Structure formats: C-alpha cells, structure tokens
Structure 1
Amino acid sequence: MLSCFISIFLLCILASINEVRFENLLRFGRCTFSNNTTNTSSSISNEQQQQEQDIRILIGILTLPDQYLRRHFLRLVYGTQNPEGAKIDVKFVFCNLTKEDQKTIISLEIMRYNDIIILNCTENMNKGKTSTFFTSLPDIFNETENGPNYPPYHYVMKADDDTYVRLNSLVKSLKPLPKEDLYYGFVIPCSSMDPFKHYMSGMGFLVSWDIVEWIHGSDIPKKHVEGPEDKVFGDWMRWGRRGLNRFNAKWSMYNYPDPVSVCSHELVNDTIAVHLLKNQEKWIKTLNFFNHAGPLEESKMYHIA
C-alpha cells in the first residue's frame, strides 16, 4: 500500500511540473507570435507609408503598332531602371489596330507585359492622337476624387519612342515641384528659356493629373485638335490659363548631339532626357555614356569583356 501511495504521489508531482512547463511554453509561443506579428505589421505599415509618399508617374510613349522591336528594346531600357521615391508605369500608346498580325502579336504582348494602351482613333501624328491620349486617361484609370488611390497618377508624361528618359533624374527634378497645375518640359524654340511664352517640345512633356482631368472635360481641346501636337497642347494651356506652375527642364533635356541637329549639345551627366535617338548606334552610344548596362553582377553563367 505504501509503495502504491508513493508512486501516485510522484506521478502527481511530475504532472504538476509538466503543466508548469507547458504553460511557460504557451506563454513563450504567444509572446514570440505577438512580436512577429507586430514586426510584420510594422514592416507592412512602413512599406505602405513609403508607397503613399512615392510620386506616381505615368509615361505614355506614343508609337506605332508595327514597332514591335522598338517596344521590346524600350522595355529593356525602362525595365532595367530602378527609380527611387517613385512608382512609374511606362505604357505604349497607339490607335486602333488595322491588321490581323497586329491583333495577334499585340494581344500576346498585352498578355505578357500589360503595358499597351490602344486608343479609339485612326493612327496619325498631328490630327489628334495626343489629344485622344490625354482625354482618354480619366476613363481608363477611373478613380473618383474621394477614392483611396486618387489621383491614380500625380503626373502624366507624353514621350516619343526615340526619347531616352532617365527615370531617377526625372524623379529628382519633380520632387520639389507642385503636384497641381504643373506643365513641365523643354521649351520651344531652342533659343527661349521662358516657359510661359511658348510651349514644351513633343520629345517629352509632363503635366499634373488635374490638367489631365481638365483636358478630359474642357471644350478647348475638343475645338482645337489638328496641328503640331506639342504646339497645339501649348495653345490649350495658354487659352485655358492652365499650367500656371511651369518648369523648363532645358538643358537637362535635349536632342542627341549631331552636327545637323538643333536644340542639342554633348551628352552630360546631368541629363533627364535625350531625344532623336533614331538608330541603334545612337541608342548604344547614349546608353554606354550613362553606363546603363553596368556593372553586371558576377555570375558563372556569363562573361562580358
């Protein structure tokens, strides 16, 4: 009897010790889980705050449906840039497709890259394509003024497909500028430095989202469509008394240095955009000047001397 009593007593003590250990283990687990959750939540919160502080920019590159190789090349050029403090979407813009091969190939591009905007217009240079682009944007990126992500973009830039935009330089120049009523670019004519007297070159001009919405709803752009697209756009700004915050990015934006080119100078480090890159040789020389393709990370998979 005595031995049975002692055995039962020892089992009770052992169970009590295990219960204490289990409670401590649960407490430790709850603490660890709580800390991990707090750290994760803090990380997500910081990331969200950073995204909210980032400048949101849409760059619409006006090009032609058949320019398949040019689009693929530009995807490399823009996809290998890592702008800091900004979320930048680059979209290729053209009018309605007219050929069967276009419909097939461009459908594949959309499925793979989702970076194409097809406007409801007939392909043209100076008969309203730029107008259709800006007018269509509020409907494409449908956000109400009270929406959590309004505006969808702080700025919209129209660029040519022979323009190289250096995204970090663009962001750096925009940081101190207003996010409303802004009209930004390279003032034409070349001799002018006054952004209020003339208009911004079609190589790449940028406006704030409120101007995009104004273009969408105003009768002024609707009544004045045809003509050199950059000059027509400047007329809208002047007649509508828009773009009262203007920034002349000259001479950080310029044409590629060429003896016969106007509005140009030699490539310089303080560059936002280079225009008139009409062939592969000019693109390669420009990319090499800015060391765009390097340095590559070391790998056993390749060696580039």
Structure 2
Amino acid sequence: MHRRRQVLAALLPSIFFSLFFLVYIFFNVGVKSSLVASKQSTLNHTSFSLLIGILTRPDNYDRRHFLRLVYGIQSSPIAEIDMKFVFCKLTKDEQRLLISLEILRYNDIIILNCTENMNSGKTYTYFSSLPYVLSRRYDYVMKADDDIFIRLLPLSLSLKPLPRRDLYYGFVIPCNSMNPYVDYMSGMGFLLSWDLVEWIGSSDIPANNTYGPEDRLVGKWLNLGNKAKNRFSNKPAMYDYPGTNGRCSHELIPETIAVHRLKRWDQWRNALLYFNVTRGLHLSNM
C-alpha cells in the first residue's frame, strides 16, 4: 500500500501537467477557432466591400490619428469597409521615420508615386494605381477629403440597393443641382464602382487628361468614355458644414451620410456631439 502511494505521488505532477496542457490547448484552439468563425461569418453576411481612401498630406499626423478614432468606432453589418490614408512620396527624414511607425502600427497608408499637388494628377494616380497596388478588389472605391465626417452605416445603407457596376456616387456640383448626369461629383467624397477604377487605370482618356480641377476631370473622363451610366447624388444627406459654402451648406440633419468642410476642432466637436458618436460609452465609478 505504501508503495502504491509513493508511485501515485510521483505520477501526480505529470497527470496535473497533462490535464493543464489539454485544457490550455482546448481553450486556445477553441477560442481562436470561434473568433475566426465569427469573423468569417460576419464577412459572409456582408452585401459588398468598400475602400475609402482619404487623400491627405504626409505631415497631417494629428488629423490621421483623430480620424482613426472617429472611424475606428464605426462599423456596418452589411458592408466590409476598409479605410486608408493616401498621399504622395515622402520628402523628409522625419516623415520616413514617423510614417514607417504608423504603417507598422496601423497598416492603413498608401503612398503614391507622385509629388503632392492639388490639380496635377494626384486623383488620377490614386485611382489608376489601386488595381496594381492592392492585393484584392473591392466593389466600390471612394475618394474622400480629410475634413469630412462620413457616417459609415448610413453610407452603406444608401449603397446597398445600388448597382455594383458602372456606378458614380456623391454630391453633384453645382450646389443647387439635383441631376447627377450633368457636371461632376464634389471632391468632398465620391465613389466609383471597381470596374470604373480599372477603366481609369487602363484607358488613355484619363491618362491624357490629368491636369486641372481634379474632381471635375473625373466627371469629364466618365463622359468622354461613355461610362458611369448609373449615377446617384445623395442630397441632402451629403453637404458642407453649416455656413461654410453657400448653397452647398445646410444645418446638420439626422439622416446625414457625410458632412464636409470640418476645418476647425469646434466644427468637429459640434458634428460629433450632434450625432452622439460616444453614446456607446459605459461610464465607470472612476
């Protein structure tokens, strides 16, 4: 009997370790499998995919970090939405260091082969480069400014019933126009279906017309190429911040998809408070 107790005492650590190892494996494999399955299930139920490229400048570090907060707390159950910051080649050692850190941490930056400009082809370089620099395709691609607040759920709901091909979507210019088949979509934030992005990257029409007001040029390309037969201008849900741009502006409204020209922090504060973006915050006793 004494001998059996000695043998059992000697085996107990091994038995305990084996049980612990089995529980550890079961928990980790089970949890990881559950997370992967949950993510895959979410993707399987989305209706479409969207890339939002925010055209900005390398030195706008504070704005990028702020926008990561603004968009990081938003989601949509019907759309897979990726957000990328887009700018041209880096020109300073400081940029190369700090933006390398951003890429390592967030992986949300696209650096184009161009020199920063307003009307010398940055928009063309953005759209024409995507089919070659991305590892996947999207149903839609959006070009947006860094002074616009986009509400991702209302945006995705507005896109759900629309065509997935030959689509040009945004805020039509001039401000008082309601006809998306005349003129062009404002640069505040307009969207193209993937087939149009591929066309921009392969057609001579955009390649030979890259200098000038860039958002107007996009409309010109599509007209010359007899493209974008499906056009949609989402007024009044897209607009400029109250009082900033004449008839393109109006008061904040609940059905807003995007509000533009948020140049100052007080304007951002007013917009975020109006839409109650922190309503999900759980207060603590601290």
- TM-score, normalised by the number of residues in structure 1: 0.80
The answer for the alignment partner of 1:100 in structure 2 is 93
Deviation at residue 165 of structure 1 after TM alignment: 0.4
Which residue number in structure 2 is paired with residue 254 of structure 1?
239
Amino acid at match of 1:270: E
* CA–CA distance in structure 2, aligned partners of residues 159 and 59 of structure 1: 7
Residue aligning to 2:18: none
**Cα distance 1:56–1:187, how it changes in 2: closer, same or farther (>3 A)?**
same
Q: Does 1:296 align with 2:281?
A: yes
1:141 pairs with 131, 134, 137, which one? 134
Partner of 2:102: 109
Name the residue aligned to 1:241.
226
For 1:61, what is the secondary structure of its paired residue? Answer: strand
**Where does residue 132 of structure 1 map in the other structure?**
125
Pair 1:84-2:77 in alignment: yes
Equivalent position SS for 1:207: strand
Alignment-derived partner of residue 12 in structure 1: none
Corresponding position of 1:10: none
Larger radius of gyration: 1
Which of 196, 200, 207 lines up with 2:185 in the alignment?
Answer: 200
* Gap change, CA 1:164 and 1:249, over 3 Å in 2: same
Q: Give the 3 Å change call, closer, same or farther, for CA 95–48 of structure 1 in structure 2.
A: same
In the aligned structure 2, how far is the partner of 1:278 from the partner of 1:58? 23
1:259 CA drift (Å): 6.2
Q: Which deviations, in whole Å up to 9, do the C-alpha atoms of 1:20-71 show, x marking residues without a partner?
A: xxxxxxxxxxxxx9xxx9xx89x94x86464134221000000000000000
Runs of 4+ in 1 over 3 A off after TM superposition: 46-50, 259-262
Q: How does 1:49-68 map to 2 (within 5 A)?
A: 50-54=42-46, 55-68=48-61
User: Are residues 1:284 and 2:269 paired?
Assistant: yes
Aligned partner of 2:268: which letter? W
Write the distance in 1 (CA, Å) between the matches of 2:256 and 2:79: 18
Distance 1:158 1:104, change over 3 A: same
The Cα offsets for residues 250-285 of structure 1, whole Å up to 9 and x where unpaired, read as 110000001664401100000000000001000000
What secondary structure sits across from 2:248 in the alignment? coil
Find the aligned partners of 1:105 and 1:259 in 2 and give their Cα distance.
33
Amino acid at match of 1:264: S
Quick one: distance in 2 between partners of 1:47 and 1:120? 34
Task: Say if 1:286 and 1:122 are closer, same or farther in 2 by CA, change over 3 A.
Answer: same
**2:42–2:77 Cα contact (<8 Å) kept:** no
Among 113, 130, 138, the residue aligned to 1:153: 138
Cα distance in structure 2, aligned partners of 1:227 and 1:174: 29
Deviations 1:91-129 (A, max 9, x none): 000000000000000000000000000000000011100
By how many angstroms is 1:88 displaced?
0.7
Q: Which residue is 1:118 aligned to?
A: 111
Q: CA RMSD in A?
A: 1.9
Question: Structure 2, unaligned stretches of length 5 or more?
Answer: 1-25
Query: Is the contact between residue 142 and residue 192 of structure 2 (CA under 8 Å) also seen in structure 1?
Result: yes
> Match for residue 148 of structure 1?
none
Counterpart CA distance in 2 for 1:123 and 1:188 is 25
Per-residue CA deviations over 1:271-305 (Å, capped at 9, x if unaligned) read 000000001000000000000122411334x4xxx
Q: How many residues were matched structurally?
A: 254
1:260–1:47 Cα change, 3 Å = closer
**Alignment check: 8 A CA contact 2:244 2:261 kept:** no
Structure 1 range deviating more: 47-56 or 82-91: 47-56
Which one of 171, 174, 195 corresponds to residue 189 of structure 1?
174
In 1, Cα distance between equivalents of 2:214 and 2:226: 18
TM-score, reference length from structure 2? 0.85
Residues 259/121 of structure 1: CA separation in 2 closer, same or farther (3 Å cut): closer
Q: Distance in 2 between matches of 1:234 and 1:257?
A: 26
Identity of aligned pairs, percent?
57
Asked if 1 retains the 8 angstrom alpha-carbon contact of 2:127 and 2:200, the reply is yes
